């Protein structure tokens, strides 16, 4: 079993930055992939960034160049550094973990609001 707790969300002005944190506990050694997703009201949940245990990262074009995902194994924490934030980045951001056997875990989400 894996538990994920996000933190670091809040209200920022357009052009500002935020760093989100996802602390993992439980069977953390079984995790293969970590990711950040976001969901705005009335919209589907979408990928923001992902990272594998080997360090491979993936970003959609909508955030590429503005977002960096990192995995600190010593702290069992995944970070999402977001720069040059835009109002369209406003959403609830969720941490996702996938174990080696393919089981998916989700955090509770943290709100990010970007004002214009």
**What count of Cα atoms within 13 Å lies in the side-chain half-sphere of residue 49?**
21
pLDDT average, residue stretch 6-26: 97
* Residues 114/14, Cβ–Cβ less than 8 Å: yes
For 62, which DSSP code?
T
CA 114 from chain center: how many Å? 16
Cβ-based neighbours of 73, under 8 Å, separated by 6 or more: none
pLDDT average, residue stretch 37-64: 96
Range name among 21-25, 60-64, 81-85, 95-99 with the lowest pLDDT average: 60-64
């Amino acid at each position: 079993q894996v538990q994920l707790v996000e933190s670091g969300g809040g209200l920022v002005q357009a052009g500002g930055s935020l760093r989100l944190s996802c602390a993992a506990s439980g069977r953390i050694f079984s995790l293969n992939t970590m990711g950040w997703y976001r969901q705005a009201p009335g919209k589907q949940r979408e990928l923001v960034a992902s990272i594998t245990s080997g360090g491979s990262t993936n970003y959609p074009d909508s955030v590429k160049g503005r977002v960096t995902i990192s995995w600190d194994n010593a702290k069992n924490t995944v970070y999402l550094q977001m720069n040059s934030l835009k109002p369209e980045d406003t959403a609830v951001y969720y941490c996702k973990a996938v174990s080696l056997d393919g089981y998916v875990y989700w955090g509770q989400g943290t709100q990010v609001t970007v004002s214009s």
